[in-house]
Structure 1
């Protein structure tokens, strides 16, 4: 590729050509070298970014967490997934879900604070209306 491509566009090309990317199967160690040979039009930097994007995805990590084997571009078994690698995927998912829950809690807390402030402003408006008329 002459101009830099986004990781998503490179990944889309890989999804279109190789079913293992669509199914998020654990990739064989060193698959980047195989892809570099097969796709010289994709720069090494673009390929690494696309693979990083793919292997960090929630879908990939969920499969990796339970998988026992890695796969090559043709979908053949090409090595095992170690317990350490499964544990790493599991830890990544737990951290991701924890952050998501914390974010949801913060958003909910902000909504509740906004609602409370709204109610407070309405009540204040009612009090001003009620007692503001008595001064005249």
Structure 2
């Protein structure tokens, strides 16, 4: 363990001594500031890399869903998914090259948070199973939930765009 050194001054320092002390400590302060900045940059870089890795894993899991269940998962024709469809998908995860449960859930979250998917819920009448067959009706409560979520996403996008415009000015 490293101990912090304590400096105890019994009498007030003269201006000359204060200046000397400040000059002696200045390089240490600058070094600590520089190290803190480097640590912060490294932390940001690690966060960017982790986000990029997660995005790639989601893309891989989505590709698997598109290939295995084209009747249900079609990026050009989004259908509202049956509730708890993840439970149906878990039985297929034993296959080779299938994603893990966590990656599958991340991909489903991404898929179902898509603006076009939310619009499919709002405008649709039924949810669909893995074979593309109608499974259950979409309730008004579910449509309202999707509408609220869509509005929040659109507001978030609008806010981000406003911040980008302000910061580039």
- TM-score, with normalisation over the residues of structure 1? 0.70
Q: CA deviation at 1:87?
A: 0.9
Q: Does 100-109 or 85-94 show the bigger shift?
A: 100-109
Counting matched residue pairs gives: 109
Partner in structure 1 of residue 23 of structure 2: none
Cα deviation for residue 56 of structure 1 reads: 1.1
Contact between 1:10 and 1:50, CA under 8 Å: does it hold in 2? yes
Question: Equivalent of 1:24, from 63, 68, 78?
Answer: 78
Contact 1:65 1:89 (8 Å CA) reproduced: yes
In the aligned structure 2, how far is the partner of 1:110 from the partner of 1:50?
A: 32
The match for 1:132 is: none
- Cα distance per residue 1:40-82 (max 9 Å; x no partner): 2432222211111111111211111111100011111001111
User: How many angstroms apart in 1 are the aligned matches of 2:84 and 2:163?
Assistant: 41
Which segments of 5 or more consecutive residues in structure 1 lack a partner in the other structure?
A: 115-136
Structure 1 pair 49/109, CA: closer, same or farther in 2 (3 Å)?
Answer: closer
Correspondence 1:8 to 2:59: yes
Secondary structure of 2:60's aligned partner: helix
More helix by share: 1
1:23-102 equivalences in 2 (<5 Å): 23-40=77-94, 41-102=98-159
What are the superposed Cα offsets for residues 98-124 of structure 1, whole Å, 9 maximum, x if unpaired? 12222222333334xx3xxxxxxxxxx
Poorly superposed stretches of 4+, deviation over 2 Å: 102-111
1:103-122 alignment runs, 5 A limit: 103-111=160-168, 114=169
Cα separation, partners in 2 of 1:30 and 1:106, compared to 1, 3 Å = closer
- Unmatched segments (≥5 aa) in structure 2: 1-53
> Match of 1:38, SS?
coil
SS at match of 1:86: helix
SS of 1:75's equivalent in the other structure is coil
Distance 2:78 2:136 in 1: 16
Root-mean-square deviation over aligned CA pairs: 2.0
Q: Greater relative contact order (Cα 8 A, min sep 6): structure 1 or 2?
A: 1
